[in-house]
């Protein structure tokens, strides 16, 4: 989409702005209170859980327009996409259910009863399990992805919500918002493995398998904690802006994106150094984010604005690169030069429609 486009293109279309600093490509209206965002790179689609609309919205990422909307239970907050089955799982906080939808059409396939106020989901593709953080119950409900049914429960602490899974070690991590802690359990046996400390109001946990780190967004103190997955020890706390509630990591593990709900920004952190590279201004109350692995674009849900912001190349800061030379992409001008060995005049006509390399060499 042209960066210079402005205005809206209909009820389901994007409103575009020329934000060259951070390359905002589109702002797509999706519904009220959008929170979790997940991407289906094969289908070229993003799915957004709209908590105040009680549904999920599918967004075509090529056209930046809505494909379909589907009802779930009341107040869906987190969302999981299972590629092998083409299913979506939404945890519906005020219905105490997990709703299962077809990702291609939004058709409802099942609705599974879980613990009180489910507000977080985790996923282990190898074990074929989805884990639901039941905030009011202080538990984790475990669902079989293929059978779409409850298969177990794990004790956590009050405020259990966001869940991250380290598939390498087979461990799951649950952020306990009200207890300022992270519960660790075995993803297969469901055996509790202990607690990790967190800051005030841990809202989101994410695993970075490349850095071998766990990140915890502490919403009440404006920090992101880095924890070693190997040792379970806290490495440091990285300051961000107000009320960080959403997190995601770039596919190469290099960048951490933090949704600062109270500031309307996304902090871009270097995963190696922990330093903040820059901030991206999005819209009101960003809730969560995801990266499209095909394009590297960052997708940010804005709970206060009811939109999905699409950011191109979010790891770059500063002004847009200079325009390419006007001759780039045009046919090579015809010219002739004498052959250095024979003296015979050679012209570019001899290599028309062929690939060749010209080596310009000067001696002095």
pLDDT digit string (tens) for the chain, length 364 residues:
333 333 333 334 334 343 445 689 999 999 999 999 999 999 999 999 999 999 999 999 999 999 999 999 999 999 999 999 999 999 999 999 999 999 999 999 999 999 999 999 999 999 999 999 999 999 999 999 999 999 999 999 999 999 999 999 999 999 999 999 999 999 999 999 999 999 999 999 999 999 999 999 999 999 999 999 999 999 999 999 999 999 999 999 999 999 999 999 999 999 999 999 999 999 999 999 999 999 999 999 999 999 999 999 888 765 444 444 555 556 666 777 787 778 788 877 676 656 666 665 544 4
Q: Is 16 inside a domain boundary?
A: yes
Residue 321: Cβ-neighbour burial (10 angstroms; 0-12, 13-18, 19+) = exposed
Widest pairwise Cα distance in the chain: 88
Contact criterion met (CB below 8 Å) for 138 and 159: yes
Q: Is 279 inside a domain boundary?
A: yes
pTM of the predicted model as reported, rounded to 2 decimal places: 0.82
Q: Is 62 inside a domain boundary?
A: yes
Which domain covers residue 153, as residue numbers?
7-311
What is the CATH number for 21? 2.130.10.10
Q: Specify the number of domains making up the chain.
A: 1
Rounded CA separation 193/183 (Å): 8
pLDDT at 129: 98
CA-CA-CA-CA torsion sign (18, 22, 23, 26): negative
pLDDT at 168: 96
Q: Is 40 inside a domain boundary?
A: yes
Q: Is 122 inside a domain boundary?
A: yes
Report which of 147, 144, 51 is spatially closest to residue 90, judged by C-alpha positions.
51
Q: Is 97 inside a domain boundary?
A: yes
pLDDT 10s digits, 131-175: 999 999 999 999 999 999 999 999 999 999 999 999 999 999 999
Q: Is 317 inside a domain boundary?
A: no
What is the CB neighbour count within 10 angstroms for residue 23? 18
């Amino acid at each position: 989409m042209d960066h210079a486009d402005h205005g809206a293109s209909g009820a389901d279309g994007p409103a575009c702005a020329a934000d060259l600093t951070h390359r905002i490509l589109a702002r797509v209206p999706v519904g009220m209170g959008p929170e979790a965002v997940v991407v289906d790179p094969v289908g070229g689609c993003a799915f957004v859980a709209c908590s105040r609309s009680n549904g999920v919205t599918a967004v075509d990422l090529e056209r930046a327009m809505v494909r379909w909307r589907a009802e779930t239970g009341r107040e869906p907050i987190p969302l999981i996409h299972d590629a092998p089955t083409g299913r979506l799982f939404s945890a519906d906080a005020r219905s105490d259910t997990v709703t299962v939808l077809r990702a291609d059409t939004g058709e409802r396939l099942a609705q599974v009863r879980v613990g009180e106020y489910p507000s977080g989901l985790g996923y282990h593709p190898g074990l074929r399990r989805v884990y639901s953080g039941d905030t009011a119950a202080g538990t984790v409900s475990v669902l079989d992805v293929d059978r779409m049914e409850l298969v177990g429960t794990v004790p956590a602490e009050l405020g259990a919500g966001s869940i991250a899974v380290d598939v390498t070690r087979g461990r799951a991590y649950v952020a306990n918002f009200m207890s300022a802690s992270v519960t660790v359990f075995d993803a297969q046996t469901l055996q509790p493995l202990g607690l990790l400390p967190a800051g005030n109001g841990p809202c989101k946990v994410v695993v970075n398998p490349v850095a071998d780190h766990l990140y915890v967004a502490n919403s009440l103190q404006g920090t992101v904690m880095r924890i070693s997955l190997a040792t379970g020890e806290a490495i440091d706390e990285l300051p961000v802006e107000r009320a960080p509630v959403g997190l995601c990591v770039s596919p190469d593990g290099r960048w951490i994106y933090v949704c600062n709900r109270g500031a309307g920004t996304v902090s871009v952190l270097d995963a190696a150094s922990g330093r903040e590279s820059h901030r991206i201004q999005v819209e009101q109350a960003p809730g969560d984010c995801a990266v499209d692995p095909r394009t590297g674009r960052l997708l940010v849900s804005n709970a206060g604005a009811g939109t999905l912001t699409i950011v191109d190349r979010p790891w770059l800061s500063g002004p847009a690169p200079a325009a390419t030379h006007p001759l780039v992409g045009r046919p090579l001008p015809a010219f002739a030069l004498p052959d250095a060995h024979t003296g015979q005049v050679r012209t570019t006509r001899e290599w028309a429609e062929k690939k060749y390399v010209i080596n310009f060499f000067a001696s002095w």
